[in-house]
DNA sequence: ACCCATTAGTCGGATGTCCTACTATTTATC
DNA sequence: GATAAATAGTAGGACATCCGACTAATGGGT
């Protein structure tokens, strides 16, 4: 164990020092940005999943549920769900399979286009969506760890990044 | 399809409007922050994976490989890898299994502690690590989108967030 | 009307992540 | 010294994500 790094140092700051030591100065910021995103994502997801666990849903399913709950009709085609949430069609199929098994949503045929499957939220689905939102709001989203003023800047910068990437 | 949202709008901005419309003002920032992290993570990961694909490694394996490549001895115990990368032990086992199958690393017994498994990078592993870094630096990390000044602010804020979460 | 490209979903497979055991080994305690 | 507690890794299972391939249905161009 010949680790000369100071204890309790930030692994990402350490990686940046390595990058700069190798002369990759142009890439150091980008490397730090990508790595930071990975870790922060993991932390945030973990906190959210912990809170949602008692309700027996995951964040992926919560997103689907809320999209339906807040939609004007309480139902959306599979494809639209994928577009809004920016996930692959097969991920939507997966999430809806599980939500349907839990009786939180139901697949319905589209009235005019038989290719399309409508996903409709159930009464129980709405209950779970509301309870989940209440808990998430209280225990995660209002936490200063994530709602501090600088975090608004993060949201703005990431919005630009997403837009550049063609996210919307 | 009664969707009155303007076309090409940002789904996250839309979600924030929904939150505020429901009076969840305290949670709107946090919700937007978490959701932004999810999407940005997905975008960044996708770009990285696309670049690494020809080298037949993933970002998870690249991180392990670089950690070893930049270590003083070219080898580290499994547990140390997990601590540095902030991932679960079983994720390290998984990544090392695949790296070993590709002959980029090799498991070695620890000289004094027989519980410990040392992971040692091979010559081929170093080649792949260097080539991957070169490509990532050129095609992803130097992207103005990720190496911009605002993105540096993101890295700083996320560092605080990670620290609050006990990441280091 | 008919054929073919496009669109909507699903299926199977690959990856990565986590969690809960479980084994093997080391270390601390009595 | 023997036993209990802690540590290092692995195995199996659950989830989510993506990709490529496949089925079914729609619709445009001739």
Task: Give the pLDDT of residue A9.
Answer: 82
Residue A146 has a pLDDT of 80
Residue in chain A closest to B47 (alpha carbons) equals: A165
DSSP A21-78: HTT-HHHHHHHHHHHHHHHHHHHHHHHHHHHHGGGT--HHHHHHHHHHHTSSSSEEEH
Strand C positions with any atom < 7 Å from protein CB?
A: 7-13, 15-20, 24-27
| Segment B64-92, tens digit of pLDDT | 999 999 999 999 999 999 999 999 999 99
Average pLDDT over residues B117-130: 98
- The residue ranges of every structural domain in chain B are 10-47, 56-144
The CATH number given to B56-144 is 1.10.10.10
For residues B125-147, give the mean pLDDT. Answer: 96
State the nearest residue by CA to the C1' of C12. A90
> Among positive and negative, which fits the CA dihedral B133, B134, B136, B141?
positive
B37 with A37: Cβ contact below 8 A: yes
* Residue A38 with chain B: CB contacts under 8 Å: 41, 44-45, 59
Question: Chain B contacts of A42, Cβ < 8 Å?
Answer: 86-87
Is A60 in contact with A77 (CB distance < 8 Å)? no
Q: Are B58 and B52 in contact (CB under 8 A)?
A: yes
Q: Which residues touch strand C (CB under 7 A)?
A: A 42, 46, 77-79, 82, 89-90, 92-93, 96-97, 107, 110, 113, 115-118; B 58, 60-61, 86-88, 90-91, 94-95, 98, 112-115
The CA-atom distances, in angstroms, between B90 and each of B5, B166, B167 are 44, 20, 18
DSSP B106: E
Angle of helix B149-164 relative to helix A25-52, nearest 10 degrees, comes to 40
CATH architecture observed for domain A56-146: Orthogonal Bundle (1.10)
Q: Which residue is closest to D17 in terms of CA–C1' distance? A: A91
Residue B8's pLDDT band (cuts 50, 70, 90): low
As to burial, measured by CB atoms within 10 angstroms (0-12 exposed, 13-18 middle, 19+ buried), residue B94 is middle
Report the alpha-carbon distance of residue B93 to residue B80 in Å, rounded: 12
| Between residues A7 and B102, the one the model is more confident about | B102
**8-state DSSP, A139:** I
% of residues, chain B, pLDDT over 70 = 95
- Kindly report whether the global pTM for this prediction surpasses the value 0.75: yes
Summarize the confidence of residues A7-31 as an average pLDDT.
Answer: 91
Contacts B11 to A, Cβ<8 Å: 84-86, 168
Cα gap B147→A56, rounded to integer Å:
39
* Closest by CA position to A161, among listed B79, B144, B74, B61: B144
Output the CA torsion A74→A80→A85→A90 (10° steps): 110
Distance from the Cα of B93 to chain A's closest Cα (Å) equals 19
pLDDT tens for residues A73-98?
A: 999 999 999 999 999 999 999 999 99
Asked if A126 contacts A99 with a C-beta cutoff of 8 angstroms, the reply is no
The pLDDT mean for chain A works out to 92
């Amino acid at each position: 164990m010949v680790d000369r790094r100071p204890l309790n140092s930030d692994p990402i700051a350490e990686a940046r020092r390595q990058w700069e030591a190798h002369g990759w100065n142009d890439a150091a910021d980008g490397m730090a940005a990508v790595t930071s995103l990975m870790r922060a994502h993991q932390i945030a997801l973990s906190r959210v999943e912990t809170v949602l666990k008692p309700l027996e849903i995951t964040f992926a399913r919560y997103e689907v549920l809320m999209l339906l709950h807040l939609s004007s009709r309480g139902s959306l085609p599979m494809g639209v769900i994928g577009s809004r949430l920016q996930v692959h069609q097969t991920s939507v199929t997966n999430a809806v399979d599980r939500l349907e098994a839990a009786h939180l949503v139901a697949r319905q045929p589209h009235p005019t286009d038989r290719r399309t499957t409508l996903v409709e939220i159930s009464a129980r689905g709405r209950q779970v969506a509301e309870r989940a939102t209440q808990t998430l709001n209280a225990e995660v989203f209002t936490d200063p760890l994530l709602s501090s003023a600088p975090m608004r800047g993060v949201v703005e910068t990431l919005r630009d990044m997403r837009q550049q990437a063609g996210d919307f």
